[in-house]
Structure formats: C-alpha cells, structure tokens
Amino acid sequence: MGRAETPATLCRIAPGAVRSCIGYAARPMSLPVAGRGRYETPEGAARYAARSPARGRVEEELVTRALDALAGDRMLLDAPCGVGRMSRLASARGLSVVALDASAAMLERARAQGVATRYLRADLAELPLRDGAVDAVLCFRLFHHLRGSEDRRRLFRELARVARRHVAVSFFHPVSFHHALRLAKRLWGVRSMRSVVTLGRLRAEAAVEGLRLERWWAQAPFRRDLWLALFGK
C-alpha cells in the first residue's frame, strides 16, 4: 500500500480540489483535540481498530441514518476518517468518499481498505480543499474531544466552507445516564477527555456559521450520550 497523500501530492493529482500546497507538517493552526496523541502510533491505531464490534455496529446504524438523509449528495468528505470504518459504509452506499485524518497511523489502516477516492493527511482546522469541494461532510466522534464553543464554531466554519450542501457531526449530550456516570467517576478522580453540549447550543453555534439544523438522531436517548446532527446550508 502506498503512503497517504499530503496536500502537496494531491496538488499534482487533482489541482482543482486543492487550496494550498504548503506541507501538512508546517501548519501551525492545528485544532486542539483532547487525547489526540493516542491515535498517532501504530499501536493506538490497532487499538481503535479492535474496538468492540457491537459498539461499532450501533455507531454504524447511527451514521447510516444520516447517510440515508443525504439524498442527491454524491461526494462525501469523511473527516476524521480514523481507520476508515465510516468511509467503507458511505462507499457501500454509493457515495464517492474523500477520507482525511491527521494521524498517519490511522490513515494507513484506512487506506488499506481502498474504498475512498482520496486519502489525505491534514488537520481539520485547515482542510486542503477548495470552497464547496464536496457535497457533504461527515465528522464522526470528534466534537466531544473539543474544548468548547469557540473550537466547535471554528470547526463548523471550516466544514461549512468545503461542504456544498450538508454537514453531519456527532456530539455527546449531557442529559444521559452515560454522562451522569462519567460525572460520578470524577468524584473518584477519574478524568474524562470528553466534552458535552446540548442540541440547542450546538444548533446556535452552527447557525452562526451559516448551517441550519435539519435532523438529529440519538444512539439511545437518555441512556447513551452519542448523538448525530445533520445540518444543511
């Protein structure tokens, strides 16, 4: 398997899709993402790939609902793609997928599946894509690693810039048994790297960046904290 493309190599392959050819490693504007380091090594990528299949299936069901709602969209940016499980799902549903992640180790595993038309190593804060380059963006399992409103808005702005029609993001909702358990564990000194946000607040943050909430789904309302929201432009 070859190496993942950097913006510089993509520039040669698809000049129309690329905004800048400055190398990924030189970019100073990276998005602060809690726990990002654990995805950077081959061992970390292997651990993520080996997550519970049952948990994975439930998450795939959630994403499938959003993919079903992308009627008419043809090109999807899966960012971050991680080891590529949602790229595989989207490709199987007939979407042409651009897969992007900051971690070389995660991307290498995603690339081994060979389902996306492009694999890009880049930071979500500065996507190496032109405005409106794709129809839709899927950002799954990242927002809960952001610090708060300002970073969420910053990411919404960048996702909305490259998406022509839709932006789907997952987030963790505070009203759930799962979150209550996490708060309780804090009393025993167990720290969590997850942040939560209500749908109303997320809707308001996205609205400032020109996105309006179309639909949303919860993995298991009031029990689990993972939700998925679909925004339109």
Ligand X SMILES: C[S@@+](CC[C@H](N)C(=O)[O-])C[C@H]1O[C@@H](n2cnc3c(N)ncnc32)[C@H](O)[C@@H]1O
Binding-site ranges for ligand X (CB under 6 A): 30-31, 33, 36, 39, 80-82, 85-86, 101-103, 106, 123-125, 140-142
Name the nearest CA neighbour of 124 among 150, 90, 87, 99: 99
Query: Alpha-carbon distance 128 to 162, whole Å?
Result: 9
Judged by beta carbon, residue 164 or residue 194, the one nearer ligand X is 194
- In whole angstroms, how close is the CB of 84 to ligand X at the nearest point? 8
Instruction: Supply the minimum distance, in Å, between the C-beta of residue 15 and ligand X.
Output: 23
DSSP assignment of 91-112 equals HHTT-EEEEEES-HHHHHHHHH
Which pairing describes strands 226-232 and 134-139: parallel, antiparallel, or unpaired? unpaired
Please identify, using beta-carbon distances, which residue of 43 and 204 lies nearer to ligand X.
43
Q: How far is the CB of 109 from ligand X (least distance, A)?
A: 9
Nearer to ligand X, 169 or 212 (CB): 169
User: In whole angstroms, what is the distance from residue 220 CA to residue 137 CA?
Assistant: 23
CA dist list (Å): 136 to 90, 187, 195, 231: 11, 41, 25, 10
Residues facing 87 on adjacent strands? none
User: How far apart are CB 137 and ligand X at their closest, in Å?
Assistant: 11
Identity of the residue, 33 or 202, whose beta carbon is nearer to ligand X in the bound complex: 33
User: Number of C-alpha atoms within 13 angstroms, CB side, residue 95?
Assistant: 29
Residue nearest ligand X, CB atom distance: 82
Residue 143's φ and ψ, nearest 5 degrees, are -55, -30
Nearer Cβ to ligand X (33/129): 33
d(CA 202, CA 213): 9
Nearer to ligand X, 36 or 65 (CB): 36
- State the nearest-atom distance from the C-beta of 196 to ligand X, in Å: 16
Query: Shortest distance, CB of residue 10 to ligand X, whole angstroms?
Result: 15
